[in-house]
Structure formats: C-alpha cells, structure tokens
Structure 1
Amino acid sequence: MSIHLFKRMAVVLTLAAATFAYTQNKAEEALTKFQENYPQEKIHLLFNKDHYVAGENLWFKSFVFEGYNRSNISTTLFVELYDSSKKLLDKKMIPLLKGEGSGSFSLASTLKEDVYFIRAYTTWMTNFSEDFNYLQPIAVYNPASTQKLVADTDKAWSATVHPESGTFVEGIDTKFAVRLHSSGSASSNWNGYVTDSENPDLPVAKFNGFDQNVGLFNLKPQAGKNYQLTVQDEKGKKISIDLPTAVSSGLHLQVESTEKAVKYTIKSKNISTENQPYKILGTINNTLVYKAIIHKLNDAQSASIPADKLINGVLRLTIFDNKENVVAERLCFVQPQTLHIKKPNLDTDLKSEERTKNLINIGKADDFEGYSVAVADAESSTSEEENSLLSSLWLTGDLSTRITKPAQYFVKDSNPQALDALLISEKWKRFEWFSIIAGNYPFIKNKPESYISYKGKVLAQGKPATNSELNLIFTMPDSGTKFHQIKTDASGLFTLNNLVFEDTMSFSYQLNSSDKAVAGSTQVYFQPAFSFVPLRKDLPNSLMMLTDRIQGEEIPAKVAKSVSTLTFDKFINEKITDIEEVKIKVDRKNKTNKLNEELSSPLFKSMNEMVFDFVNDNNMIGGNNILQWLQGRVPGLQISTNGPNTSATMRGGPVDIFLNEMRVDPSQISMISVPDVAMIKVIRGFFAASPGGGGNGAILIYTKRGGITGSVSDNGQSKSLKEMKLKGYDKEEPFNNTIYVNIDQKSLTKDTRSTLYWNPYLPKDTKESTTVQFYNNDDAKAYKVIIIGFDEQDNLLYYNEIVK
C-alpha cells in the first residue's frame, strides 16, 4: 500500500464526498439503507442496589441509546420482572424523555430466595433480535426461605479459540483469543499452552488468562502441522481443543489500537489476482467512518486511521474481495485508555459521624441538563460494578454473547490487552454483511407510538357512531379537569395520542346528538396501542445456585444488613405516615376554621358545635336529603317524615334548623341543591340564637357564596355522563432522601442502609453549584458516588468513585 494511498485514506475521514474507483459499492449502499431505516436501540439500567431482600423496593434509572447517543426513537420503556422459571411477576411502563426514565418494583415479602431477572425493551426493539433486550439477573434474599443462594463454582466450563480476523495462514504470525464459557462463576486463575501433534510434550506457546473471560497467545503455523490447545484451571481441570488447520494461501488482518491511531496490517500469502482489488470498510455503530481500496496486495501492507478522527467505541474493520465477499474481519476498541467522558468538579463536606448530614456540591458544568445521582456506603457493592453504563454503551449493548463482569474493561487501570482479546473473540451481530448486501433487512411490524396512545370505538344504539362528535371530560391527576372534543371516522373510530399520565386517568364522555335516545345509548370501547411482548427466549443461566438452608445458620453479613434496613425503613415509613396524617388533619382543621370564620357570625358560634366542611373535605352527600345524611353522623339526631312534613329531634326534643343563619322549616331543606352546600354545623345543647333558648341545639346549614373556594372542586359535570378509566404509566415509589428530617433520631433502631441517596432526576442549579444532600448511616466512613449526566450535544458525564 503506497504512501499516496495512505494520505487518501486519511482524507476520507474528513471528506464524506470522497469517491473511489471500485467496481462494487453494494456494501456501502446496503449499509446506508440499514443505518437510515433500521437504527438500533440499546438499554442500560442503573439500580439503587445490586441485591435485595424480599419486601424491599427496587429502584432503577433507565437510559435508552441509539448508538452512542440518547434515543429519540422511543418514548416508552417496558420493564418486566421474572422469576427463575420465567414466570412474569410484575411489569412496568415507563415514560422516556430524551431516552431517560425511572421507576420501581415493590418486591413481595413472600418472594422466595432466588435469582430473578429484569428485562427491559422498547416497542422499536421488538422488531429485532431478542438477544439485544436488556436482561439482568437480580439476587433476592429471604432468610425465611428453605433454600439459600450461593455462588455456583462447580458448573462445567468450556473454551473456544478464535484467530485474529478469522483467518489462519501458514507462515503468518497470528494472535489467538481463548474465550472461557461457563453457566456458573468462571475462574480468573487459568492458563493454557499449545502443542503440535509431532511433539505433544513440548509447548510451542504458553499464556495466562487475563480475567474470567479471555486469554491470548501468538502462533506462527508451519505447513503440515496440526496444533492443539490445552486449557486448565486452578483446580487442575483440563480441556483440549484442536486449532483450525492453517491454510497455504489467504489473507490476514492484524490490528493495533493505540492512543494516536488504529493501525492495521494486511498480510497475505499466495493470493490470486482474480479477487483483486480489495476494499476495507470501517464502521462504528453501523456508520461508515473509513474506506480504502487496495488495488494490489503485497505480502504485508500497513496503514493508520488517526484516532482523533474517530470516537470511543467498537470499530469493525472488514475486508471485501472484488465480488464483495467478506474475507477477513476484526473488531477493536478505539482509544481504550482514553475514554472521552466528562468528570464533575466536586466540592464535598463529608463526615464520618453516624446519622449526620453530608454535602456534595457538583460544580457548574457547561450545558449539562441535570444529573442521575446515587450514593452508597463504600463497603457495599453497586450495580455498576458488574455491568456499568459504559460497558452497556460500548460493549454488551451491541454484543449478544455473555461477558462476565464487563464493567472491568472501562475502569481506571484496566488492561487494554484484555479488551482487545475479548473483541478478537467477538462477532458484530447487529447485521451480517452478506444479508444486507443481498437485500435482506429486518421486517418492521411494530412502530413506536409517541408516549401513550389509545384507539377508541363509539357505538350508539348498537351501531358505529360514524362522523360524530364525542365530548370527553378528563380528570387528570394533579392537573384538574380538561375538556376535549374528538370526531369519529366513517367507522366510528378515533385515536387519543401523545398522552402522558401516571396511574389512571378518569374521564367522562357524551355524544353530541340532539336525539336523547342516541346520546343515552352511547358506548365507548378503548384498546391500547401499546403492549408488552412476551419473552420467547430462555432465561440465561445464573452465576448463583440454590442449596438447602441449615436451620439456625448465620446469614451473610450483607443480607443481615439488608434485613435490618428493611425493618428500619418500615419504622421510618410508619413515622412519616403518622406525621403526614397529623399535618393533613391540622391543615384541614385550619382551613375549616377559616371557613367557619367566613360564614358564621358571633351569635351562631358555640363551644359545642360539630362542623362538616364541604369545601375542603371530601364529604360526599349521597342523594339530595341533607338531613338524612346527617342522621347517620350525628349521635342522637332523629329525622321523621310524615308526608310533606319533616321534623328533626335530638335526644327527644325538637331541633331548630337555620339556613344561612335564618330559621326555616325542615321541609324546606329538601329544596337545597346538594352541590351548593358549603358547611353544616350541629350545635348540641343550649343555643342562644334559637327562640326561647334552644335547649335541644340546632342545625346550621350554609350555602356556597362568591369567593368561597377549597381543595374540593365541583366542575359542574353532568351526572348523566358515563365514566371510564384509562391505564397510564406506572407510578414510581418515592425514595426518602430526607430520612432524618422531622424524626427523632433517638427513637430509631440501628441504621444499616447501603443506599444513602438516590435521585434519578437531580435538576441542575443554573446559578450555583448543584447540591447533593444525604444522611450517613451508623457505620460509613467513605462513600461510593455515582453521577451521570448529558449535555445538549449528548456528551456524557460519568463519575463512579469512592470519596472520603
């Protein structure tokens, strides 16, 4: 490959309009179509813990990416909880804004100890392989179970061997990645060696495994020799694998990814000229980032792709012959030692004293929209230690094979050789070149809706209400009542699109028709335009196994802490509930006192009054008879009706009735419209405003007047409207970050919380630094702090460190 050609290749990285003299461009055209029409989404979930006990809440923050940016394709995320037999236990529907969402599961206290699975996917993802759904095992402990979870270290393991670029040519020095596979916990202490059949006792290559996943060795094969790989673990177990037979002619692609460039070398032997010229395409996340034409192959040709023209991610280099057959391919990671992520500037005020307030200030960062923040006791483990956002983004989100602890490849001081060996053993499965070149693309059957959509059908007198107007009155949670009018089509159908609400939404409907019989017979049926999709594939094997629990044995320390925390949280929640109930009662009492002051004159007040507030309390009156409603609520009150006459007595004596402080006959009360009632007071015993002293008390009824408002609204909605409910997004349980506010610390048991702070949406303070405030438990001396954020250009801020 000439120097001139290298310069052309470097220009290609910056000039999208560069052209090449090449007979075939089907691969590039197919890739463009795939990229434009079949974008790929992937998911990462951040959990508040990495294990749970039955009865706890599980919180998660979700990130949905299209490639390496947050996705704008999907606005709804489906999250499911399965047990180990693939029984669906619970499911949640979560709204997404710029690819981010959050939710929670309440784990039943009756769950047996076992490994459970969290699955997450979008509607768009159901058009592609299930292998790219997010599927995460979660350990749930329950000391009351008859069986307990332990690490599965006895499962059989196997190994596979992978030559670099998939080719093995005589006389060409070749890297081989050795990949371990196990359904249990794989060993990180293993090694191997290679022998040939002529000298089985003399190793020609030796190596030690990098980690639980992969090892690497080099071998220059000689003609006519057969090679065998032996792999052994620390327990002495051995397996043997035959290496592929080296071929006498072929092409081999070697890649080295450094801080400055991705250097590749093409070595060949006995290559026929009939398959030339060759081309090499480089893609990152299904996007073409590099192209070169090799008109004539030499024995060895090298070129470099400047790293500053690329981004962090998996680079797929593919060599095609002149018929666009793939002849060699290699995955590598761009700049593995320089991850282009932003770090926050932190100013901390941390204390080691138990139950004290701690502060972490996040410095003002350019254009960051907000943060997802989790703080844990440094002695505990987090979900990011197994599979982090970085490993989901750059590795497991695009590779479908199982990788043990993928987060290890993107931490400080990680071994770039291990990641490179891992990628030698992998294949890009988002698409196959031969398939898209042949025009075989995914079949799109499920298109994403914008948030929640419902399809409706209107029937009147049993027939479709075609081209008709339907009035809908929605009662939206936290946003009051809204009126909406829709028109049906020629089949009586309509749609409600782009709805965003939690829990349920109540609404009433009425057909616009002068024909009362038609309007009165109206029926509306709804069908959601969204759906959960059953999991077809089997659940993966767990790294843990169940074994019988011995009665009286000590439970693991981390489980004991979680059990203690569960008891602690229940106690806290009861305290908070009591406090909130007192606050509500006090607030209602204050509002009722204010209403009483507004409506009652001094003469119509008494120390012995009972007040019923219809403005601020939800005192629903059944029917139109106010006196009958009072009879069931006021001790000793009796209401008698004799034809048109109505009388009220209390403790055997007559009771005077006042309407707006004017004495009226009891029979007149039935003429008052119930929604017009603002307040009723019952005076027991002596009442000065009654004629003759009123020793038996009085009933005072006050109607609403201009300016009287309260927490209970009356929208004047016709009672003839028919009511329905629609299912919305699942409501997330609140996480208590202000645990010691308004609570006496001395009344609490030992605080063993591992999650000290959880906030999936911490808004950025635009004027000052953004403050994270949390309370220590009884033991923590250091803290694991996780901070995730994105700016307007989708640059990632990621921080996962221990601070003291």
Structure 2
Amino acid sequence: MKKYITLLLLGFTFIANAQKSSIEDSYHRYFENTREIPFLHLNKTSFFPGEEIWFKAYMLEQNSQKLHKTSSNLYVSLFDEKGVLKSQQLIALKNGLGKGSFKIDTSFKGKTYYLKAATNWMKNFREDCAFVQKVDILSSEKRRDLAAKSTAKQYEFQILPEGGHLLANTINNLGLVVKDKNNRGVVIEKGIIKDQDGHIIKTFSTNQFGLGNSVLFIKNTAQYTFEAHLSDGNILTQRTAPAQLQGVNLRVTNSNSKVLTVTVKTNKESLADLEHKEYTILIHNTRAFKKQPFTFKKEKYRYSLLVNKSELPAGINIITVFNEKNRPLLERLVFVNKNSLIKNIAVNTTVKDGDSLKINVTNPLKEKLYLSASILPSNHIGNKPKNSIISSFLLKPYIKGQIQNPDYYFTNGSSKKLRDLDLLLITQGWSKYDWNEIFNAPPKTQFPFENGLRIKGSFNKDIADNQSLLVYSHDNRFITQTTVKNNQFELAETYLLKNTRINFALKGKKKFKAVLPVLQFSKSVLPERLAPEHLETNPYTTTSFTANINDVFKDYEVLDEVLVRAKKEEKELPNFVNQSFLKRNKVSNGIVGSGETVLDFLNYKGFRIRRTDSNEDNSIGVVNGQVIAPYDALGTSGSPDLSQRNQQGLNRPFRFFIDNVEIDGTWLLETTYLDEIDEIYYGNRSSANIGMNGSVQVYIYRKSPEQLTRVKNRKNSLIIQRGFAKAKEFYTPQFSSYMSDEFQKYGVIHWSPELHIDKATNKEFTIDSKLQESMIIQVQGISESGKLIYQKFAI
C-alpha cells in the first residue's frame, strides 16, 4: 500500500473549447450559455409596518465573473410564509446594477416574507441560482412559538466520506457534521471512534459549525461507531456505511498555499482489475477545465497530482474522477484563495454640523467600484442576511446545501478560516452540477434573454405604410421615431416605467397629428414559485415587541401612503448663457388657452417660427435649414425682404433646449402641450448689440412626474399599465424616539444604494446621525474587474 506515483504537472493549460473526448464535448455544450447570478443587498432584514424594504441589485455574469453588462430585466418577487406570491417588480438593470424597494403597507398581514430575485433567462438552466432572502415584519402581537410544543432536543449526526464513498483496506478521510433541529452546527464536548469490538481507536472534534473530519484505515467488513458527546449530556452515535471492496477513493490536500494535491488511491483487491485502465482527473469551475489522464500500473496503489495553484482560477474548483468509460466516480469541491478575489476599502467619518455626519469612502483600486452602504445603530440586531455578495457569487453557484454563516469564511481571512472552509467543502459532497445532466441534457434555450420591453401597436384605421410615427413620454424622458406598416408598428428594448404616460403622433406634411393605437406588451411579469427548501419549517421566529407598534413612529397612520416632499430643484441654465437677458415665463392656464402647444406659445409671444422641413416660402425665416427669428420678433419695424434682413443681421437662428437638452428643429414643440411645461426662458445670446448675428435661445422645462399626475388625460396619450418599477429616493420614517429600544435594535440611519467611486479616489456624503453616538456601516459591492467588497465598520 506504500507504492504510489506522483504526477508533477506545473503548467497544463485550460481547455476552453470542445476537444476530442465526450467529457470535453459534453462539458462545452452544457456550459456554453452563460449563467446569470443575481444578488440583492438589503438595507436590513427586519422591518416595521410602514417602512420600505430597500435593495441594491447586482448581476454577475458567471463566465466572466464580472458585472453582466447586457442583463437588464430583473424580476424581484415577494412571497409570504407559505410560499405564495404576493407582489413582483420588474427592475431595470444598467451595466449589471439596479435598485428598488417594496413598501410594507397594510396589506402585509404575515410576519415572515421571502424576497426572490431572478431573470427569465435563468429558467433555461436546471441549477437554481436565484437570490432568496427571508425578511421579518416586526409586530407587537403576542406570538406563539411552534418550537415550544416540543422540549425534546433533536440533532443530526452524519458521516460523509471524502469523494462520496468508503474504500475497504485503505485510508479514508471522513467528513463529520453535527447539527441541531434548526440546522445549526454543534460544538461537541468529546468525540470517540470505536471499532467493531467496542475498543476506542481514535478521537475527533467539531468546530463552531459542527464540522470535523477523521482520517481512518477502514478494514474490509468492519463497521466503526462514532460517538459525539454533547454538553447537555446527549450522546449521538453513527456507524460507518459498508465500504466498497473494489474501486478507488479520493483525498485532496489544500493546506499548502502554493500547491494543491489530488490523490487517487486503490487497494490490493482492485488493482488486478484496474491495471492498464486509463482514469481521468478533471478540475473545472463551469467556465473552463483542466484534464489529466493517468493509467493504473502493476503494484501502484496511489496516484498523486500536484497542481500549482497559480494556474487555477480563484474561488471554487470542482475535482471529478472518471473511470475508463468516462463515468464520474468521485467528486470534491475545493476553494483556491487568491488576493484578486476580495479587496478592502477605507471609511472615515467626521462630525460636520450638529447631528450631521460626513462619511468619506476611499477606493484604493485602480478601477471603478460599485458599492452600496447600509448604516445602522451599533446595537442593531435586525439585519441577518443569509448571504453577502461574496458568498452569493463565490459559493452559492456551486453548492447544493444551505451554509451556516457563509460570510465567516471571507471576513478577516486566516489559515483557520480556510481550514474551516475546507471542512465545509468536504462535507458538501458532489457539486450542484449533475453529470448525468451534463452528459445527457444540455440546456435548451426555451426562455429568451430579455432586454427591456417590446411594445407592439396597431391602429383600427388605415395608416399609410412607412408613415413616420413619433412616440414619446415625458415621464420617461423617452422619444423615438418609427414607421407604420400594415397599420402596425413595434418598439424594441424600451425601458418605460409602470403607470407612466406615453404619447403618439403621426408625421404629416406640415405638422404632427395625434393618434391613439392599441398596445401589446411583451412579458413584464415572471411566473414565479419559491422552492420548498427556501421556506423555514418554523416561520414563527420573528421578534415581538412589548411596546405598541403604533408608538414607534411619530405619526404611524401616514406610513401606509408616505408623501415625500423635497425642495424644488432650481432650473439651472448652461454657463455660457447670460441669464439677465433671458425673459422668463411661468406657464399657467392664463397665458394661452387649454390644449395649446409650446409652438403656439412662442408664436403668441411674437416669434413667428416655421418648421425646418417646411416646403412653404422661406420669406419669413428658414435659412439653410435653420429656423430664424423674423424681424418683428426683434422689435424692428418695417418688413424688409430676406436678403435685406440677412444683411442687417435681423435673421437669427433659433436653438431649442428641453430640460437643458438641445433638440433639432421644432417637431417636438408641436406635440408638447403647455400643461406639461413648468417654465420657459427665451432671449438673445448677445448682450452687447442686438444687431449682432447671435442665436435666439429658448429653454423649456417640463413639469416633474408628480406635477404631471395631475394633468388630465389627452386623446393621444395612454397610461402604461405594465413596465419597470420606478426607483424611489430613500427616506426613513420619523421615529418617536431615536434613543428608544426599537430604533436601537431595528431602525435604520441611512441607506446609500449608489456609492460608485472612480479609481484611486474617494467619495464623501453627509447623513443625519439620528442622535447616535456610534453606528455600523456595512458596505458591499464589486469592482469593474470582478473584485468583491464586503466590510463592516464600527464608528
């Protein structure tokens, strides 16, 4: 049994494309289409009725391990404690990032809910990579605890051989797991191993997660008893499963920082049958793989493969052993730790004015960071995320089971934590990716990759083919022009917000004509379900208050429909314009009659403006395709001809700006109604001499979406009932006391979902400290190249 062969391979390369054998071909087909992995950073996980569940969305593209630049449609669903869908939002992602919130209104009757994030594309794959997080709704009601019905303590004790099975008459590594009824690990007082005669032959222990291991020589037909002695006096016993007399087993050593050792062993009873057969070791991670075949030789029982870790990708790698028929026999997950995986940032704070606190976040990397930060009281206990961005992107895509406190392994990394992580992976068994599926059932593209929403429109009356249709929405800052064919049109990849207004107008020879089509939207909801494994068996675990929930906030009644009032944003004109020479008009119904357009208003003010594509006589102001101000708009008497006005400098090109964005021509002015406009500025750019040939500037500012909700429906506009959720600005309800126990344990000080910092710079923001002398800042995020950030700062 001491005879072995060492295969020292330093430098074998990745196989990224399909090659000769069925392993490579099948692997390439199965992982050819990339997976999406979503993660939601919540500001906390326990909420009062009347608050909002705030979240920042990150989408990872599994092949590149970077933010998914092309993913755009993320469905975030809310389920009750029984797994019944309550609500769903379609969140727009831009460059793999998005944000949103759920209002906890009076319709929330339960105390436990689950938040799930997924995409339509993810349904093509067997493996579930959706994000799921339980959230608690705090209540002052007295709650019955279902666990209190039974005083008997329940435990689970498992023996899990490394690789998947035991091999007789050789050394085996056995992973050990001790858990309680709540799936939490148990640290044992003492562990002993007895042979079949009852003799103690060895001891073992478990860490804080109830994980341990033992290396043991397993004799043929022998059965070994493991005893776990607990602190409460209970003794758990478990016996080893029967060992295979013939075959191979696996042992992986990951303690060396530079070299990974993969050892395949057999026994004397197996060697005669194995001799001259070629087995394969495959090291893979869904993106690429390394392959090493080896052949069993006479009197050689052990084959070790030494792999330089610098050649392996950082993070989880899967090691699979195949026999000569390419049948997978053994599998083990390992974690390769590298400095490129996780990075740290710096956070400093200073008191600014009174209760204001200035926070400075420093990005030490030579690339941009995309971060989000939740700021909570230092005694907060209402934030218990199941996963961070690190465990969501590094562990969850590969592991089938639930992991207790996965972020322990990645914060303040140490050799002990890496050892504990290796114990976890020993006990995980086979990875999430089933080889039967890889060989026989590659994913089929049944669910399309979504980019925005597709809108199809049709008219109930005949429209000339190829006629130009203007589609625009002030609520969405959206405008496009398309053509009509067979009385139909289509808009692809639109990102219109739900419950906003959209307008339509056909382009005629002289002006646009308002029309109203019938619209059909592509799918904006995702049929969703919550897998049973995500539901907690005992949902009654949320905290109850002794205080009345109505006393938590200053005015609890208004929280069902919160109205956020912000200071009106001042209109900011470009720097090159001398504002003192611009006339200002606050638009009201008294200026012109209802239903008038911006073009009507300008003509009313003395600017006789012609459309730039007009076929009429140019005598009143179209010069080289530019709209000009006629003589009477400049206060000049008489009516000289065009050439005379050009010589005198009286013809002036117009420049139109809507919300500081310059538009080409007057077409938008003809379809923009005054009841959508808040203010209009107009005047000449030149202040020195009115005869100078400067342009006339017109700055038009539209009403805010809140103002537009009061505008009456018009015959050429529709309210979009389906679309993306509108992201709100963060607010926190006014607590009755920021020194109360409720706020200290479950309140939130601030939420910053878009803390994006350019390379090697810092970013400052100021918050209201809410009278807190100390607080916790939790920061999560990712860099442009895929480096992950998860840190907590006590300040």
Which TM-score tier does this pair reach, normalised by the shorter chain? 0.7 to 0.9
Alignment of 1:794 with 2:789, yes or no, is: no
Distance across 1 between alignment mates of 2:761 and 2:400 = 43
Distance across 1 between alignment mates of 2:564 and 2:381 = 30
Tell me the residue number matched to 2:450. Answer: 449
1:725 to 720, 724, 727: 720
Q: CA deviation at 1:731?
A: 1.6
What secondary structure does 1:396 align onto? Answer: coil
1:26 to 10, 22, 28: 22
Distance across 2 between alignment mates of 1:340 and 1:451 = 31
Distance across 2 between alignment mates of 1:676 and 1:728 = 26
What secondary structure does 1:212 align onto? Answer: coil
Alignment of 1:373 with 2:369, yes or no, is: no
What secondary structure does 1:503 align onto? Answer: coil
Alignment of 1:139 with 2:132, yes or no, is: no
Distance across 2 between alignment mates of 1:757 and 1:6 = 56
Whether the 8 Å CA contact 1:229–1:241 is kept in 2: the answer is yes
Tell me the residue number matched to 1:663. Answer: none
Tell me the residue number matched to 2:54. Answer: 59
Whether the 8 Å CA contact 1:510–1:721 is kept in 2: the answer is yes
Closer/same/farther in 2, CA of residues 478 and 97 from structure 1, 3 Å limit: closer
Tell me the residue number matched to 1:289. Answer: 289
Tell me the residue number matched to 2:491. Answer: 496
Whether the 8 Å CA contact 1:353–1:776 is kept in 2: the answer is no
Q: CA deviation at 1:17?
A: 10
Tell me the residue number matched to 2:159. Answer: 161
Q: CA deviation at 1:382?
A: 7.0
Alignment of 1:803 with 2:794, yes or no, is: yes
Tell me the residue number matched to 1:279. Answer: 280
Tell me the residue number matched to 1:328. Answer: 330
Distance across 1 between alignment mates of 2:323 and 2:10 = 22
Amino acid at match of 1:302: S
Tell me the residue number matched to 1:198. Answer: 196
What secondary structure does 2:135 align onto? Answer: strand
Alignment of 1:776 with 2:769, yes or no, is: yes
Whether the 8 Å CA contact 1:163–1:176 is kept in 2: the answer is yes
Whether the 8 Å CA contact 1:251–1:267 is kept in 2: the answer is yes
- CA-to-partner distance for each residue in 1:615-640, whole Å, 9 max, x for gaps? 1579997799xxxxxxxxxxxxxxxx
Q: CA RMSD in A?
A: 4.8
Closer/same/farther in 2, CA of residues 6 and 351 from structure 1, 3 Å limit: farther
Distance across 1 between alignment mates of 2:248 and 2:736 = 74
Distance across 2 between alignment mates of 1:419 and 1:585 = 55
Tell me the residue number matched to 1:628. Answer: none
Amino acid at match of 1:264: V
Amino acid at match of 1:29: D
Whether the 8 Å CA contact 1:377–1:755 is kept in 2: the answer is yes
Distance across 2 between alignment mates of 1:323 and 1:548 = 53
**What number of residue pairs does the alignment pair up?**
671
What secondary structure does 1:402 align onto? Answer: coil
Identical residues among aligned pairs (%): 17
Amino acid at match of 1:615: V
Whether the 8 Å CA contact 1:618–1:712 is kept in 2: the answer is no
Tell me the residue number matched to 1:526. Answer: 520
Distance across 2 between alignment mates of 1:677 and 1:389 = 46
What secondary structure does 1:327 align onto? Answer: strand
Alignment of 1:326-365 (within 5 A): 326-335=328-337, 340-346=341-347, 348-350=348-350, 355-363=355-363, 365=365
Whether the 8 Å CA contact 1:132–1:398 is kept in 2: the answer is no
Amino acid at match of 2:171: D
2:252 to 246, 251, 255: 255
Alignment of 1:380-391 (within 5 A): 380-381=380-381, 383=383, 386-391=386-391
Distance across 2 between alignment mates of 1:457 and 1:749 = 56
Q: CA deviation at 1:117?
A: 0.6
2:79 to 71, 82, 95: 82
What secondary structure does 1:204 align onto? Answer: strand
Closer/same/farther in 2, CA of residues 33 and 73 from structure 1, 3 Å limit: farther
Whether the 8 Å CA contact 1:354–1:777 is kept in 2: the answer is no
Alignment of 1:213-292 (within 5 A): 214-231=211-228, 233-257=230-254, 258-269=256-267, 270-271=270-271, 272-273=273-274, 276-284=277-285, 286-292=286-292
Distance across 1 between alignment mates of 2:676 and 2:473 = 22
Closer/same/farther in 2, CA of residues 352 and 784 from structure 1, 3 Å limit: farther
Q: Counting helix residues as a fraction of each chain, which structure ranks higher?
A: 1
1:554 to 516, 524, 546: 546
Distance across 2 between alignment mates of 1:708 and 1:157 = 72
Alignment of 1:36 with 2:32, yes or no, is: yes
Distance across 2 between alignment mates of 1:539 and 1:222 = 38
Tell me the residue number matched to 1:309. Answer: 311
Q: CA deviation at 1:504?
A: 3.5
Amino acid at match of 1:404: Q
Whether the 8 Å CA contact 1:42–1:398 is kept in 2: the answer is no
What secondary structure does 1:36 align onto? Answer: coil
What secondary structure does 2:390 align onto? Answer: helix
Amino acid at match of 1:802: F
Q: CA deviation at 1:280?
A: 0.7
Distance across 2 between alignment mates of 1:214 and 1:435 = 30
Larger radius of gyration: 1
Distance across 1 between alignment mates of 2:188 and 2:354 = 43
Q: CA deviation at 1:786?
A: 1.4
Query: Which residues of structure 1 form unaligned runs of 5+?
Result: 588-593, 600-612, 625-673, 680-704
When structure 1 is superposed on structure 2, of 401-410 and 191-200 the one drifting more is 191-200
Alignment of 1:762 with 2:755, yes or no, is: yes
